[in-house]
Structure 1
C-alpha cells in the first residue's frame, strides 16, 4: 500500500504526461468521501503545479431537477442511476477532452436546494488535469460507459462502511431531514445505490482507501 496524499497527487499528475488534457474519475458509494478526496486532490495538485493547471467538475450537476423527477414519478428515488442525465454528462466530458482551448462551463449542485445549478463551474483552457467524481462512473451500462470512455483512469474510494453510512445520515440531517427520516432515506435509497456501486468496483483502475490515517492506494477487501 502506498500512503499519503502526495502519492495520489504524483499519480494524478503522471496521468497527464505530455498530453494536452486528461480527465481523472473518482467513483464510490454515496458518502464514501469522493468529493472530499477530489477537493483535496485538486488543491494539492494546484499547489504543486500552479493555479489553473487542474479543474474540478463533479457529476452531481447532472442530477435531474425535481420538476423532471416529478414528471417521471421518480422523486422518491432521487439519486438512483436513472435519475441523472448520463448522456449530458458524457457530452460534457467530450467537450472537456476535445475542446481544451475553450472555456467549458458545467453545472454544479446546491446541496441546500438539492438542485443542479447551470454553468456554476468552469474548466479553463489552462487546465491539464480535470477531476470528476460520481457514484456511477464504473457501471457496465452504455449510458455510463460512454462517459467512462473519456476518463484516463477511474479510482474507486473504499473505506469503513459504518462510518460511510453514518456520514450519509448526518449529511441528510444537515440539509434538512429529521434524523428518523434521514435514517429511513439511507436505508431505502442510499443503501441500494451503494450496492449497485460496489458491484462495479472491480472495474476501477485503482482503489483509494479512505482510512483513519488519511488517503492511500490499496486494494478492495
Structure 2
C-alpha cells in the first residue's frame, strides 16, 4: 500500500472508524525523539471513544541494569528497551479476551518504569501504541508490525527536531546537554528517520 499524508482531523476520523468497528485494533504512532508523539497521542485519546494507550517507553531498561552494561549514556537506543517484554504485551492485547491488562508506565520525573501503573480495559476497542522504533526495520522490531491495523509516522523537519531536543536538555550544564544531544538523541533520531519501514500514513507535525 502506498504511503499517504494525513492531518490531525483526518487521522482522528480514521481512528474513530476503527474504534467503532468489530474487534480490537492496534495503531502504531511512531516518530523520532522530539516529534511530538505524546502530544498527538493525547489529542487522539481525548477525541476517540474506547481508545487506550500503550507506550513503548514503559519498557525502558532500568538505569541500574543499563549502567552495569555500560549502556546508560545511550538510554533510549533500541537495545535499551525490553523488546521481548513489549512484544509479549502486544500479544496479550491482541488476544482481546475481555480481561483488563496491566501495563508499565515510564515516569520521566524518576527516570524509571513503574510496573502495573496503568490498565488497558478489556472494553478498549482501539489501542494507540506510541514509540520511536515501532517501524524499525531490524530483527525483532519488524515483527511488531503484524499487530498494527494502521501505522503512522510523524514527520518533523530535522532542524525543528534538533531545536526541540536541545530545549529538552536546557536545564543541564552545557557540556552534559551537548553530550545528551549529540551522542544519543541525534543518533537515535537518524536511526528512526533512515531505518524505519514505510508507514501507512505520514502526519506532518513540525
TM-score by length of 2: 0.91
- In structure 2, what is the equivalent of residue 140 of structure 1? 137
What is the CA deviation profile of residues 27-65 of structure 1, one whole-angstrom value per residue up to 9, with x for unaligned ones? Answer: 1110011111111111121xxx3xxx1101111000000
- In structure 2, what is the equivalent of residue 112 of structure 1? 109
- In structure 2, what is the equivalent of residue 40 of structure 1? 43
TM-score by length of 1: 0.85
Give the secondary-structure state (helix, strand or coil) at the position aligned to 1:195. helix
What is the CA deviation profile of residues 50-96 of structure 1, one whole-angstrom value per residue up to 9, with x for unaligned ones? Answer: xxx11011110000001111222211111110000111111101111
Q: Work out the CA distance in 2 between the residues paired with 1:16 and 1:199.
A: 31
The equivalences for 1:149-168 within 5 A come to 149-168=146-165
Q: Structure 2, unaligned stretches of length 5 or more?
A: none
Q: Work out the CA distance in 2 between the residues paired with 1:178 and 1:132.
A: 34
User: Is 1:181 aligned to 2:176, yes or no?
Assistant: yes
Q: Work out the CA distance in 2 between the residues paired with 1:31 and 1:181.
A: 18
Change (3 A) 1:163 1:129: same
Shift of 1:202: 4.6
User: Is 1:86 aligned to 2:83, yes or no?
Assistant: yes
Q: Work out the CA distance in 1 between the residues paired with 2:5 and 2:193.
A: 22
- In structure 1, what is the equivalent of residue 123 of structure 2? 126
- Tell me if the contact between 2:5 and 2:201 (Cα under 8 Å) persists in the aligned partners: no
Change (3 A) 1:178 1:100: farther
- Tell me if the contact between 1:29 and 1:194 (Cα under 8 Å) persists in the aligned partners: yes
Bigger mean CA deviation after superposition, 32-41 or 141-150: 141-150
How many residues are matched?
A: 203
Give the secondary-structure state (helix, strand or coil) at the position aligned to 1:26. strand
- In structure 2, what is the equivalent of residue 29 of structure 1? 32
The equivalences for 1:93-104 within 5 A come to 93-104=90-101
Q: Work out the CA distance in 2 between the residues paired with 1:12 and 1:18.
A: 10
Shift of 1:3: 6.6
Q: Work out the CA distance in 2 between the residues paired with 1:205 and 1:84.
A: 25
- Tell me if the contact between 1:89 and 1:147 (Cα under 8 Å) persists in the aligned partners: no
